[in-house]
Chain A
Amino acid sequence: TQLLEQSPQFLSIQEGENLTVYCNSSSVFSSLQWYRQEPGEGPVLLVTVVTGGEVKKLKRLTFQFGDARKDSSLHITAAQPGDTGLYLCAGALGGQNFVFGPGTRLSVLP
């Protein structure tokens, strides 16, 4: 059983479309991170959210941390082929023990 669930598991869209992916848990996290991983590489951090209800924007990406700090969403506006990759959320359980979700594999077609 995964501590963090991500949905959808796979997503294939056309360039220019908007999308939202979700990260959910029944556990409360002190912070939550989103990473993007491309084939043959390690994950790269996109954002860290700490406060319940927090919203952060990174160009066309908008991240939100749930009020109860149990869930998060990532919204991408006008997706581009360069956004293709595996999007992973990671929750901090305490100390530096981060648990990762299974990921959402996004494919943006030109």
Chain B
Amino acid sequence: DAGVIQSPRHEVTEMGQEVTLRCKPISGHNSLFWYRQTMMRGLELLIYFNNNVPIDDSGMPEDRFSAKMPNASFSTLKIQPSEPRDSAVYFCASSLGVNTGELFFGEGSRLTVL
């Protein structure tokens, strides 16, 4: 079975440009998470959804970041406008939606903002 699929794997853009990251969770999983990983701050939760509904977006850095989950098989994380400090690896993860459930991570999208 396919795991969590993220695209693009790598993106290099210039400051001020819009960036859209995409995620397809594992079929049947009820919860979807967006994380950001940097050397300085480690793995940080940005937002998570249960049954396509945003539950906790307190980790979203600022209004430049937005996330949507229009259906159970697709989510986007958008940064507009992007800044150099947004450079990081962005991970999408999904789970079955139980409190002790395993998080299944995608391979990540490495974003570089020049």
Which chain A residues have a beta carbon within 8 Å of chain B's beta carbons? 2, 30-31, 33, 35, 40-45, 48, 50, 88, 90, 92, 95-103
Which 10 interchain pairs have the tightest Cβ spacing?
A: A42-B105, A100-B43, A102-B42, A45-B102, A31-B100, A48-B100, A43-B105, A42-B91, A42-B106, A96-B31
In the complex, the number of residue pairs spanning A and B with C-beta atoms less than 8 Å apart equals: 63
Q: Are A98 and B45 touching (Cβ within 8 A)?
A: yes
Which chain B residues have a beta carbon within 8 Å of chain A's beta carbons? 4, 31, 33, 35, 42-45, 48, 50, 55-56, 91, 93, 95, 97, 99-108
The one of A40, A43, A101 that contacts B103, using a Cβ cutoff of 8 Å: A43
Question: Which B residues touch A102, using CB under 8 A?
Answer: 42
Question: Distance (Å) between the CB of A89 and the closest chain B CB?
Answer: 11
Q: Which residue of B lies closest to A48 (CB)?
A: B100
Q: Which residue of B lies closest to A46 (CB)?
A: B102
Report the bound CA distance from A74 to B110 in whole Å.
Answer: 29
Question: Which A residues touch B33, using CB under 8 A?
Answer: 96
Report the bound CA distance from A88 to B35 in whole Å.
Answer: 14
The one of B4, B48, B91, B107 that contacts A97, using a Cβ cutoff of 8 Å: B48
Tell whether A101 pairs with B42 under 8 Å between CB atoms, given A43-B103, A96-B101: yes
